[in-house]
Amino acid sequence: MIILTVLLLLLVGAVWVATNPSAYPYPDSVELSSVDQKIKQEYEQTIIECEDDYEGEVIATLLSKKLPDSLNQKKAMLYIHGYGDYFFQDHMTQPLLDEGYNFYAIDLRKHGRSWLPHQRPCFTKSLTEYYEEIDKALEIIKNEGNDFIVLHGHSNGGLISSLYAEEGKNKSLIDAMVLNSPFLDWPVDPAFEKAIYAMGSVGKVRPYGIAPTANNPLYGYAIHADFHGEWDYTTSWKPHDGFPKYLGWAKSICDGQDKIAKGLDIQVPVLVLHSDKSFVGTEYNETALTTDAVLNVDHIKRLAPKLGAKVELMEIKNAMHDIFLSKKEVRDQAFEKIINWLREL
């Protein structure tokens, strides 16, 4: 009976096809959060123009905050956000500047500052589509005099970063990689994962069909300052209940995670940070403030060693999904561990 119900939901999701790119409405206006206003004032912003895709014009946005030229630093970190996300973690920047790293962050195509009115938010048919802006971002960072580059990927950005470090045109420019709760597997049991793969199969022919799954605002409630968290971000770019999960996007994730499951051969050192436990349940309680409420940390621990021969796993007790949005004592510990790890390279 459960299997039949799942199959029926798949069929319903497959039949509904968005024919209008604004099936999820582009905001009439965007009211920037206080931190995004600060980022707009203090960071250099570079628009990366990409080749048009099946929806039209495509851009990505590279943000940077660099040390004075007089310090002659040649190290950099490039941060890549997760799904339905963008860069607002301004507090990450100063510890890296203090350590002598120029800081860069990219809003990938159709996310955050790079989302254009004609585009479905966060949509992709293949994770390899993101390689173009990562190629160009790495070239910019290299051309600005940096000869040691660390790629830092969070959640879906961790999945994308891992695949890029294996396949990307400019992977040779990457010297080390930090993964913050990477999205290496769906956080579901095997039976439901089969249903997701079935949805992905439908996504081959109905990419704009919307998966019949409810978005859970629990994580947003745990991190945003209006609820239980301490972070102020622009909810037009990162809504609490997320964006639609298109079937074509589900296929892109399944394809990428299949590559992880088969094993990669990343040549550079990789540090994988994860919480010590995952959140179980859909109703908010304070446990969400000290656990990964998005992914299954056991999946991360099982799959991370498949990334390459130089992978180190580091458990951060009481961490949230985005470890650097955790409570101050937790994220400070994570910063310290990353910096110590980088010093030993």
> What are the tens digits of pLDDT across the range 118-127?
999 999 999 9
Across 106-120, 158-172, 273-287, least confident range: 273-287
H or E, element range at 252: helix 247-262
pLDDT category at 5 given cuts 50, 70, 90 is very low
pLDDT category at 25 given cuts 50, 70, 90 is confident
Instruction: Return the structure tokens found at 143.
Output: 């051309």
Spell out the residues 6+ positions from residue 102 whose beta carbon is closer than 8 angstroms to its own. Answer: 64, 65, 66, 67, 73, 75, 76, 77, 141, 144, 146
Mean pLDDT of 166-185: 98
Instruction: Return the structure tokens found at 161.
Output: 């970063």
Task: Tell me the fold of 43-67+74-343.
Answer: Rossmann fold (3.40.50)
Instruction: Return the structure tokens found at 229.
Output: 């968290």
- What angle (nearest 5°) sits at the alpha carbon of residue 171, between those of residues 252 and 340? 105
| Mean pLDDT score of the chain | 91
Q: Which amino acid is residue 275, in one-letter code?
A: S
Residue 298 has pLDDT above 80, yes or no: yes
User: What's the whole-model pTM score?
Assistant: 0.93
Instruction: Return the structure tokens found at 27.
Output: 């905001």
User: 88 and 32 in contact (C-beta within 8 Å)?
Assistant: no
pLDDT category at 257 given cuts 50, 70, 90 is very high
Query: Measured between alpha carbons, how far is 129 from 104 in angstroms, rounded to an integer?
Result: 20
Distance of CA 212 to the CA centre of its chain: 22
Mean pLDDT of 325-344: 97
Mean pLDDT of 168-185: 98
Which pLDDT value is given to residue 193?
Answer: 84
Mean pLDDT of 99-103: 96
Which pLDDT value is given to residue 216?
Answer: 78
Distance of CA 87 to the CA centre of its chain: 10
Residue 189 has pLDDT above 90, yes or no: no
User: 177 and 148 in contact (C-beta within 8 Å)?
Assistant: no
Mean pLDDT of 264-283: 94
